């Protein structure tokens, strides 16, 4: 009887520990070869299969204060994901920097990077984590360790956000770390890419996409490192260092320049934000608006730039729950007229719409509903809402495919296309009478997730590793036909 009572008490204790919300230090999470500290944050009402974000502080900081400066726990409350805050100890580094530059800490299966990996394993074993939605971000030394985690464990992460950091394996000791931080370590894209590939010689899966934040007046981590990071991760993704999209005034903020780099399938694999005149640290936007957050304080290495870097990292990760989506068609024909797109109307709000080149706005710019005449280009319909309190929501986007209306018709006949979803391989197998066709995969809001071009009748489409369970739309378009269908990702 005593054993039964003891077992019941232990069960209740463990259940309470695992379900307890808020901030909690975890004292035992594996062998912890890097002797790091682990804290986890659990929001209320977090759903099953929730995302997980690993947050890494900078030098002279600790997990607790960086949590407040960066605002990741507040974002977790709003958007329902788990957070790990890893902490350094003075016994490991007198400045509380992560030792991202030591081979004993940056190699797979060793030291500090293995300790962080064990923290993730702990969360996966104790909470309902979507293993395809694990992300990592950090500032300064934490940003450098972010690059380490992405390079050493690419199979774990879908994406990472590096805030004032340096490339993976840019240093091997304290002296070379100093040189790297000062922008003196410059390599070719192939050499940088090999640093990642050689750490994982048998890895054949997808590599995480990478977002880079950097102040142009940073005297601690030279902005040259942003260029070197671009070289490294574009090469890992088998693409070039020429930006495919440039926004010189991101979200209306002339201080922020955003660039995107696409892979061969057109997906963004590297994205950068250069913040003009910002010193070493993170950009925050204190306030209560949807896209605001973070705090500033003396010595916090956080600067009010009307740009909330943590929010835009989370948006890049795909874990921001936008308050609404655009209603409208996701497929139009060339030169189609009087097409309507809309979003919910809020009193006192103004709405700024943008469309692909060649689209003419007939009416409604500034309101929640616009009528347009299309051109011939596919692309994103986007809208920014500015409410009565000057808060901005957006851009909210909808990808629209434009097709020629000559000789194309939609067919769902099995004789044309057969689709088989292979859940174990995370693939779609397509058998078709068509040749040289394009495949488009959307979510139910019309957001384009993936594109492929296939020359043969039969093809295998490898779905993104971070594609969560749900219903998705598939379009196959050739010169003669357009096929549409839905499929379920289990």
pLDDT score at 198: 97
In terms of domains, do 105 and 216 share one? yes
In terms of domains, do 211 and 347 share one? no
Q: Please report the sign of the dihedral spanned by the C-alpha atoms of residue 339, residue 343, residue 344, residue 348.
A: negative
pLDDT digits (tens, 9 = 90+) for 358-391: 999 999 999 999 999 999 998 889 999 999 999 9
Q: How many residues does this entry show for the chain?
A: 490
At 458, give phi and psi (nearest 5°): -105, 145
pLDDT score at 10: 43
pLDDT score at 168: 98
The residue from 376, 403, 430 where one domain ends is: 403
Q: How far apart are CA 292 and CA 272, in angstroms?
A: 19
At 222, give phi and psi (nearest 5°): -60, 135
DSSP string for residues in 440-454: EEE-TT--EEEEEEE
Catalytic residue among 67, 96, 115, 140: 140
Distance of CA 447 to the CA centre of its chain: 15
In terms of domains, do 442 and 301 share one? no
Task: Classify 359 as helix, strand or coil.
Answer: coil
DSSP 8-state class, residue 250: G
pLDDT score at 191: 98
Is the model more confident about 206 or about 12? 206
Is the model more confident about 286 or about 441? 286
Cα(first)–Cα(last) distance of the chain, in Å?
A: 44
Q: How far apart are CA 322 and CA 396, in angstroms?
A: 8
In terms of domains, do 472 and 366 share one? no
Residue 217 annotated in active site: no
303-to-59, 218, 297, 300 alpha-carbon distances in Å: 16, 12, 9, 8
pLDDT score at 143: 98
In terms of domains, do 47 and 103 share one? yes
- What's the mean pLDDT in 458-484? 73
Is the model more confident about 73 or about 422? 73
pLDDT score at 415: 43
In terms of domains, do 46 and 101 share one? yes
In terms of domains, do 176 and 311 share one? yes
Burial of 329 by CB count in 10 Å (0-12 exposed, 13-18 middle, 19+ buried)? Answer: middle
In terms of domains, do 398 and 422 share one? no
Strands (E), 76-122: 82-87
Q: Kindly indicate the confidence band of residue 12, based on its pLDDT and cuts at 50, 70 and 90.
A: very low
Q: Tell me, yes or no, whether 4 lies in a domain.
A: no
Helices 63-70 and 72-79: crossing angle in degrees, nearest 10, is 60
Q: Tell me, yes or no, whether 10 lies in a domain.
A: no
pLDDT digits (tens, 9 = 90+) for 21-37: 899 999 999 999 999 99
Return the percentage of the chain with pLDDT > 70, whole number: 89
pLDDT score at 228: 98
Q: Kindly indicate the confidence band of residue 17, based on its pLDDT and cuts at 50, 70 and 90.
A: very low
Contact between 164 and 140 (Cβ < 8 Å): yes
CATH of the domain at 357: 2.60.40
Q: Tell me, yes or no, whether 148 lies in a domain.
A: yes
Q: Kindly indicate the confidence band of residue 84, based on its pLDDT and cuts at 50, 70 and 90.
A: very high
Q: Is the pLDDT of residue 77 over 80?
A: yes
Burial 161-186 (b: 16+ CB within 10 A, else e): bbbbbbbbbbbeeeeebeebbebebe
The number of distinct structural domains making up the chain is 3
Q: Is the pLDDT of residue 429 over 60?
A: yes
pLDDT score at 411: 45
Q: Kindly indicate the confidence band of residue 436, based on its pLDDT and cuts at 50, 70 and 90.
A: low
pLDDT score at 2: 47
**Which helix or strand (DSSP H or E) is residue 113 part of?**
helix 111-126
In terms of domains, do 88 and 211 share one? yes
The residue from 285, 317, 349 where one domain ends is: 317
**What is the signed CA dihedral for 231, 101, 315, 285, rounded to 10 degrees?**
-110
Write out the two tokens for 290: 């949807």
Put the strands of the sheet holding 360-363 in their side by side order: 339-342, 369-373, 360-363
Q: Tell me, yes or no, whether 339 lies in a domain.
A: yes
Q: Is the pLDDT of residue 408 over 50?
A: no
pLDDT digits (tens, 9 = 90+) for 108-135: 999 999 999 999 999 999 999 999 999 9
Q: Kindly indicate the confidence band of residue 231, based on its pLDDT and cuts at 50, 70 and 90.
A: very high
pLDDT digits (tens, 9 = 90+) for 159-177: 999 999 999 999 999 999 9
Q: Give the residue from 301, 305, 250 showing the smallest Cα distance to 272.
A: 250
pLDDT score at 58: 98
Q: Tell me, yes or no, whether 324 lies in a domain.
A: no
Q: Tell me, yes or no, whether 209 lies in a domain.
A: yes
Q: Is the pLDDT of residue 410 over 60?
A: no
Contact between 136 and 53 (Cβ < 8 Å): yes
Q: Give the residue from 146, 112, 94, 103 showing the smallest Cα distance to 31.
A: 112
Q: Tell me, yes or no, whether 7 lies in a domain.
A: no
Q: Is the pLDDT of residue 404 over 80?
A: no
Q: Tell me, yes or no, whether 243 lies in a domain.
A: yes
Q: Is the pLDDT of residue 6 over 50?
A: no
DSSP 8-state class, residue 327: B
In terms of domains, do 211 and 95 share one? yes
pLDDT digits (tens, 9 = 90+) for 311-345: 999 999 999 999 999 999 988 999 999 999 999 99
**What is the signed CA dihedral for 387, 329, 316, 47, rounded to 10 degrees?**
90
CATH of the domain at 420: 2.60.40.3080
In terms of domains, do 218 and 300 share one? yes
Range of the domain at 476: 409-489
In terms of domains, do 108 and 139 share one? yes
pTM given for the model: 0.81
pLDDT score at 93: 97
Q: Is the pLDDT of residue 427 over 70?
A: yes
The residue from 355, 379, 403 where one domain ends is: 403
197-to-171, 173, 201, 206, 317 alpha-carbon distances in Å: 17, 21, 6, 12, 23
CATH of the domain at 92: 3.40.50.1820
pLDDT score at 456: 57
Q: Kindly indicate the confidence band of residue 13, based on its pLDDT and cuts at 50, 70 and 90.
A: very low
């Amino acid at each position: 009887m005593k054993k039964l009572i003891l077992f019941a008490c232990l069960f209740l204790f463990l259940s309470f520990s695992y379900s307890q919300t808020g901030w909690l230090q975890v004292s035992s999470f594996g062998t912890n070869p890097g002797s790091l500290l682990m804290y986890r944050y659990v929001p209320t009402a977090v759903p099953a299969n929730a995302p997980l974000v690993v947050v890494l502080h900078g030098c002279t900081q600790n997990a607790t204060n960086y949590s407040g400066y960066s605002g990741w726990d507040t974002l977790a409350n709003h958007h329902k994901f788990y957070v790990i805050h890893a902490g350094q100890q003075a016994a490991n580094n007198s400045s509380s920097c992560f030792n991202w530059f030591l081979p004993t800490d940056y190699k797979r299966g060793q030291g500090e990077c293995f300790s962080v990996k064990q923290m993730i394993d702990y969360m996966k074993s104790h909470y309902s984590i979507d293993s395809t939605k694990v992300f990592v971000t950090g500032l300064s030394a934490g940003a450098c360790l972010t690059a380490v985690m992405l390079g050493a464990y690419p199979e774990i992460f879908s994406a990472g956000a590096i805030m004032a950091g340096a490339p993976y394996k840019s240093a091997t000791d304290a002296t070379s770390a100093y040189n790297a931080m000062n922008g003196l370590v410059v390599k070719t894209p192939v050499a940088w890419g090999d640093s990642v590939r050689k750490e994982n010689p048998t890895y054949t899966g997808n590599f995480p996409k990478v977002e880079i934040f950097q102040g142009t007046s940073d005297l601690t981590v030279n902005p040259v490192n942003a260029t070197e990071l671009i070289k490294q991760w574009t090469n890992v993704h088998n693409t070039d260092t020429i930006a495919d999209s440039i926004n010189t005034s991101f979200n209306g903020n002339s201080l922020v320049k955003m660039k995107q780099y696409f892979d061969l399938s057109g997906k963004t694999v590297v994205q950068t934000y250069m913040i003009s005149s910002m010193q070493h640290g993170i950009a925050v936007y204190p306030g209560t608006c949807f896209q605001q957050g973070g705090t500033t304080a003396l010595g916090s290495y956080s600067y009010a730039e009307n740009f909330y870097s943590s929010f835009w990292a989370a948006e890049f990760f795909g874990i921001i729950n936008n308050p609404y989506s655009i209603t409208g068609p996701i497929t139009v024909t060339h030169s189609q007229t009087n097409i309507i797109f809309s979003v919910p109307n809020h009193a006192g709000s103004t709405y700024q719409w943008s469309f692909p080149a060649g689209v003419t706005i007939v009416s409604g710019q500034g309101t929640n509903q616009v009528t347009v005449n299309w051109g011939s280009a596919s692309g994103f319909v986007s809208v920014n809402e500015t409410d009565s309190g000057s808060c901005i929501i957006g851009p909210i986007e909808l990808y629209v495919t434009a097709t020629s209306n000559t000789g194309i018709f939609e067919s769902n006949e099995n004789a044309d296309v057969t689709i088989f979803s292979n859940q174990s391989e995370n693939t779609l197998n397509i058998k078709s009478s068509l040749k040289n066709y394009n495949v488009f995969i959307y979510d139910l809001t019309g957001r384009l997730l993936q594109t492929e071009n296939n020359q043969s009748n039969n093809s295998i489409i490898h779905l993104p590793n971070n594609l969560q369970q749900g219903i998705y739309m598939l379009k196959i378009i050739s010169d003669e036909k357009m096929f549409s269908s839905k499929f379920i990702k289990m």
